[in-house]
Chain A
Amino acid sequence: MPRMNMVQAINSAMDIMLDRDPNVICIGQDIGYFGGVFRCTDGLQRKYGEHRVIDAPIAEGGIIGSAIGMGVNGLRPVAEIQFADYIYPGCDQIISELARLRYRTAGDFFAPVTIRTPCGGGIRGGQTHSQSPEGIFTHLCGVKVVMPSNPYDAKGLLIAAIEDDDPVIFFEPKRIYNGPFDGDPDKPAVPWNTHPHSEVPAEYYTLPIGRAEIVRPGEDVTVLCYGTMVHVCQAAADFAEVDAEIIDLRTLSPLDVTTIRQSVEKTGRCVAVHEATRFSGYGAELAATVQEECFYSLEAPILRVTGWDTPYPHAFEWDYFPGKRRVAKALEQVLEMS
């Protein structure tokens, strides 16, 4: 089976869908001739033409608004927002329109738009190239939110997103485009090709949206995480020598509550981890869900490990980033409590 990094897997998903379905188009800034600033659409315009892989003006509201119009007119647009930090000019179109179109027209109109956007920190990008705004979008009713943590999932989930009749916001953790990252910036970069999930079928396959994966079974504590933090949490469990069950949520909305419930009922403890800021963040939703679903199994309070409640700084990136030690500390804490 071919080995792919995350960029190649994402590229392959779009390649396959452009090939299979003449209604699929891609639109975004610098995605056409250039192939995207992270190279996710490399070669696709050459292969499928300028009418299907379209360079857009710098106007996120225009990209998303026009993608909605295309979707209403029978296409399946895959829109790229160059950085998640730049999605905000498109927010009215996402929040007021894309998310609610099906509902307000009683199902007569809908727009099967996929919005791909790189997110997350760890690249010294400061406050405008490092954000994790997923919690803003999981708060919406009517869009699905996905964030893969490895090449295999990225491809299968992106194809599923493109085929989905509902809008999907597909977050791509840019720090792990080229290799898994366990949160230690001093270690040499590791490429994907030694990771089992870099084995990616060349052909079409899908993974179901709304299904989490247990990436490491364990008995003592359930760790809920996604994106880059999946790798950080594994390193943290090793570091703390804790028998943690690590769940990669993969889809944030709709949430796979069953997998979470089964795990927490077994372990009796839970830590939720994300890079995004804490207050009103996605971890709050996880904590609320876990206590509602598993209250009588819980042996300790649910802890959250998150980015601090400040904008993402350029200096002190590694004090800001919720790395291995911060997660390990929470794992130890939650095991001590009861």
Chain B
Amino acid sequence: MTRTPRLHIPHPPARPGADPDFSYVTRVPAGSVPRPDPHTRLRDLPNELIYDIVRVLDDEGTAVGPWDPGLDPDELQFGLRHMLETRAFDDHMLRMHRQGKISFYMKSRGEEAVAVAAAMALKPSDMLFPSYRVQGLQIARGRSLVDLMNQCLSNSRDMCKGRQMPIMYHWKRGNIFSISGNLTTQYPQAVGWAMAAAIKGEDDIAAAWIGEGSSAEADFHHAMTFASVYRAPVILNIVNNQYAISTFQGTAGGEHRPFAARGPGYGIPGIRVDGNDFPAVYAVTQWAAERARSGTGPTLIELVTYRVDAHSTSDDPSRYRPKNEADAWPYGDPVERLKTHLIRFGQWSETRHAALVEELKAQVERDWAEACSYGTMTAPPFLDKNELFEDVYADMPPHLIAQKKQMRALEED
């Protein structure tokens, strides 16, 4: 029999109506992956870093193995609080979208540890290049929710002055770069920022986040090549939450090899980590930061997690995946797991947890009221319309001055 090639189409494990099937997700016991010295040469790093998954919290909530970062209870509580704050913020903003108060939103439910733990493992002067689904970075760095809400409302205090859709934040003072709607553009930019730090001889590093779907863009390749060639002090994170919009991670090329395995092909170490395991994310980020800061080089981190909610407020996941898939995710929920861990060691309780959830809910509502007092999409104070023409260039050129006049004249008609 002669054989001819046949186009291979990757198939997700389960479609609507079928039972969730996560048998493809690598399962390894917590604590089983060795932790090499961060300065180990690429060729001497163990394959388990890529093909297993770094995990610290076991099923009982005990931190085990060489990757346990040994965080103090108050650091862990700080992490839990900021994950819960992120969740409360997301829930509130989704409700506000449903009520027509904001035009768009994207939640990060289930992925809070990815952002919060990483932000905590880096220095405040390290530069972050976020995707749109790591709002926990902002929150863990101490950003006020009012600022984030102002942006979503395009109100008089919006840091983007109404120029971006909701969630496309930036924070100059907090060293968080502007979020772009165009996927993966931040990846080579983060590498360039890190190259500049190296050129200037400074020890601040850069870190960037994309989703696994976005790793298909050519900018991923550019970032990896430049990071490798110049040994840039950068951490490149791929948040593998199993889905892009409707397409599963196999459509992005994750069917045969973990995304972390792309690192070594470029001469960059890859590590796969349980993204729902707060201490594990912290530890892996710390390891990569140590490599970057000391000049050893860049690291590619794949954070394995699950996008619990819809892609965005424009999406309906029941069209392409089983409804109850989130419940079947083998690595649980990041908040629950950190909570269990803290309770197990007597550093937390159900009562304190419930009180914190209530406190944050009330805080979010207070913050929302404050943000609305700076204007909403329909109520003043509004941004100044003339702002529309500002910041296209550093100085406004004559043709924009003329157009601005034209717009004003129209209003006076």
- Interface stretch, picked from A95-103, A124-132, A261-269, is A124-132
Residue of B166, B218, B400 near A310 (CB, 8 A) is: B400
Q: Are A33 and B181 in contact (CB under 8 A)?
A: no
Whether A310 lies near B388 (C-beta < 8 A) is: yes
Q: In this assembly, does B320 line the interface, its C-beta being within 8 Å of a C-beta of chain A?
A: yes
Pairwise interchain contact A51-B218, C-beta atoms closer than 8 A: no
Q: Are B164's CB and A127's CB within 8 A?
A: yes
Contact B400 A59 (CB under 8 A): no
**Any B CB within 8 A of the CB of A15:** no
Cβ < 8 Å to A, chain B residues 366-413? 377, 382-383, 385, 388-389, 392, 399-400, 403, 407, 410, 413
The closest CB in chain B to the CB of A65 belongs to: B218
CA distance A35 to B246 in the complex (A): 9
Q: Mark A254-287, 1 if CB is under 8 A from B, else 0.
A: 0000000000000000000000001100000000
Closest-CB distance, B46 to chain A (whole angstroms)? 29
> If the complex has contacts A57-B251, A314-B154, are A319 and B244 also in contact, measured as CB distance less than 8 A?
no
Question: Which residues from B are CB-within-8-Å of A316?
Answer: 162, 383, 385, 388
Contact B246 A33 (CB under 8 A): yes
Per-residue B-contact encoding for A286-315, CB less than 8 Å = 1, 0 else: 000000000000000000000011110111
Contacts of B403 in A (CB 8 A): 278, 308-309
Alpha-carbon gap, A125 to B164, bound state (A): 8
Do B399 and A329 have beta carbons less than 8 Å apart?
no
Tell me whether A29 and B388 are in contact (CB under 8 A): no
Closest to A123 in B: B103
- Nearest chain A CB to B255's CB is how many angstroms away? 11
Task: Report whether A314 and B245 are in contact in the complex, using a CB–CB cutoff of 8 Å.
Answer: no
Residues of A within 8 A of B392 (CB): 309-311
Contacts of A325 in B (CB 8 A): 410, 413
A128-B213 in contact given A326-B410, A329-B413 (Cβ < 8 Å): no
- Does B319 count as interface, using CB distance less than 8 angstroms? yes
Task: List chain B residues, Cβ under 8 A from A166.
Answer: none
Provide the residues of chain A in CB contact with B164, threshold 8 Å.
126-127, 314
Determine the distance from Cα of A311 to Cα of B154 in the docked complex, in whole angstroms.
16
- CB of A37 to closest CB in B, whole Å: 7
Contacts of A88 in B (CB 8 A): 182
Scan residues 198-220 of chain A and give those whose CB is less than 8 A from a CB of chain B.
none
Complex formed: what's the CA distance from A142 to B323 in Å? 47
Q: How far is the CA of A35 from the CA of B16 in the complex (A)?
A: 14
B252 touches A57 (CB 8 A): yes
B183 lies within 8 A of chain A by Cβ: yes
Do A30 and B388 form a contact, CB below 8 Å, given A54-B9, A59-B218, A126-B181?
A: no
Is B15 positioned at the interface, with any CB of A under 8 Å from its CB?
Answer: yes
Q: Does B108 contact A (CB under 8 A)?
A: no
* Contact B163 A315, beta carbon cutoff 8 Å: yes
Partner of A308, one of B161, B247, B382, B389: B389
Question: Chain B: interface secondary structure?
Answer: loop
Tell me whether B75 is interfacial, beta carbon within 8 Å: no
The listed residue with most A CB atoms (<10 A of its CB), out of B181, B214, B407, is B181
- Roughly how many angstroms separate A128 CA and B180 CA in the complex, as a whole number? 8
Q: Are A127 and B181 in contact (CB under 8 A)?
A: yes
The verdict on B2 contacting chain A, using a C-beta distance below 8 Å, is no
Contacts of B217 in A (CB 8 A): 58-61, 89
When A310-B388, A316-B388 are in contact, do A127 and B245 touch as well, CB less than 8 Å? no
**Contact A51 to B410, CB < 8 A, known contacts A30-B247, A34-B246, A126-B181:** no
Say if the beta carbon of B165 comes within 8 Å of chain A. yes
A63 — nearest CB in chain B belongs to which residue? Answer: B216
A85 in contact (CB, < 8 A): yes
Q: How far is the CB of A251 from chain B (nearest CB, A)?
A: 28
A308 and B407 contact, Cβ closer than 8 Å, known pairs A29-B247, A58-B213: yes
Q: Could you say which residues of chain A place their CB within 8 Å of the CB of B348?
A: none
Which residue of chain B is the closest to A306 with respect to CB atoms? Answer: B403
Interface assignment of A248: CB less than 8 Å from any CB of chain B: no
Within 8 Å by CB of B154, from A37, A315, A320, lies A315
- Is the Cβ of A128 less than 8 Å from the Cβ of B163? no
Bound-state Cα–Cα, A56 to B182, Å: 17
CB proximity of A32 to chain B, nearest CB, Å: 8
Q: Does A80 contact B (CB under 8 A)?
A: no
Q: Which of B174-215 contact A (CB under 8 A)?
A: 180-183, 213-214
Query: What 7 A-B pairs are tightest by C-beta distance, nearest first?
Result: A315-B162, A128-B181, A34-B246, A57-B216, A126-B165, A315-B154, A124-B103
Can you give 18 A-B contacts (C-beta < 8 A)?
Answer: A30-B245, A34-B245, A34-B320, A57-B253, A58-B214, A58-B252, A89-B182, A124-B103, A126-B165, A127-B163, A129-B165, A310-B392, A311-B392, A319-B385, A325-B410, A325-B413, A326-B410, A329-B413
11 additional contacts, CB 8 Å, given A30-B246, A315-B383?
A35-B319, A55-B247, A56-B251, A58-B217, A59-B216, A85-B181, A125-B165, A313-B388, A315-B377, A316-B385, A329-B413
